[in-house]
Amino acid sequence: MQNHSETIENYRNILSKLPPNVELVAVSKTHPAEIIRQVYDEGQRVFGENKVQELVEKQAVLPKDIRWHLIGHLQTNKVKYIADFVDTIQSVDSEKLLLEINKQAEKHQRKIKVLLQIKIAEEETKFGLEISEAKELFLDYLNGKFPNVEIIGLMGMATFTDNEQQLRKEFSVLKQVFDKLSLQRDLKTLSMGMSNDYPIAISCGANSVRIGSAIFRHRNYA
C-alpha cells in the first residue's frame, strides 16, 4: 500500500495555482485505481488515460460520474470499447478515426465530444493533424458529415523541451488556429500543457491542461 498523501498534496497545490477558467484533466495513466479514487475523493472528476484497455478496466471499478478523457493515439478498431462511456476523445488525428467515432456514437445513440489533435511540435514522433487537414475536417463537420460527434476544441502537444521561446511559439500557433476556427463555430476547449509546460501553455491561451506526473509522481519512484 502506497502512501498517497504526496499525491493529494501535489493535486491541491496544482489546483490552487490554476486560474479558475482552466480545466484540469488529471492524467492517471499507469497509476492504480485506488490512487485515482483518492484524487476523486478530493473532488476531481475529469481523468485522462492514453490506453483503451487500461481505461476500460479503470472505468469498470471507479465511480460512474468520472468524466473520462482519452488522450492518447486511438486505433480505429478500439473505439467500440469506449464508445458507450467516454466523455471526450482528445486525440482525433485522422478522418478515418472521426468517422469511426461517429459510427460508434450513433450505435449508442449519443454524441461523443472530441478535440482535433493538431501537430504543433517539431519532433517527428508526435501524432496529429496538419493545420490544413484540421480545417478541412472542421468544414466537413460544419456541413454535417459527423452528426454524432461534437467537436468542442483542439488539442496539441508541444516539443519536449525547456526552451520557453520554442514552447511559446508552438502553443501560439495552436491558439491562432483555435481563434480562427472559433469564428466559424464557437469552440470551448483549447487543451495544451502538461506537467513540464502548463504555466506557459496557460499564458498562451490554454483553458484545459493535461497533468500527470506532477500530480501522481512519488518521491520513491525517482
Ligand X SMILES: *Cc1c(COP(=O)(O)O)cnc(C)c1O
* Cβ nearer to ligand X, comparing 74 with 149: 74
Closest distance to ligand X from the beta carbon of 107 (Å): 26
Residue closest to ligand X, measured at CB = 212
Q: Measured on CA atoms in the order 124, 128, 129, 131, is the torsion positive or negative?
A: negative
Q: Residue 38 has what DSSP assignment?
A: H
Give the interface with ligand X as residue ranges (CB under 6 A).
27, 29, 50, 71-72, 157, 194-196, 210-214
* Cβ nearer to ligand X, comparing 119 with 210: 210
- Coil vs helix vs strand at 215: helix
Grid cell in block for residue 19: 486560474
Q: Residue 129 has what DSSP assignment?
A: B
Closest distance to ligand X from the beta carbon of 191 (Å): 8
* Cβ nearer to ligand X, comparing 105 with 155: 155
d(CA 9, CA 114): 31
Closest distance to ligand X from the beta carbon of 36 (Å): 14
3-class SS letters over 138-163: HHHHHCCCCCCEEEEEEEEECCCCCC
* Cβ nearer to ligand X, comparing 27 with 79: 27
Closest distance to ligand X from the beta carbon of 168 (Å): 18
Which residues, other chains included, contact 206 with Cβ-Cβ below 8 Å and sequence gap of 6+? 22, 171, 190, 191, 192, 193, 198
Picking from 212, 214, 191, 194, the residue whose alpha carbon sits closest to that of residue 22 is: 191
* Cβ nearer to ligand X, comparing 196 with 203: 196
Closest distance to ligand X from the beta carbon of 109 (Å): 29
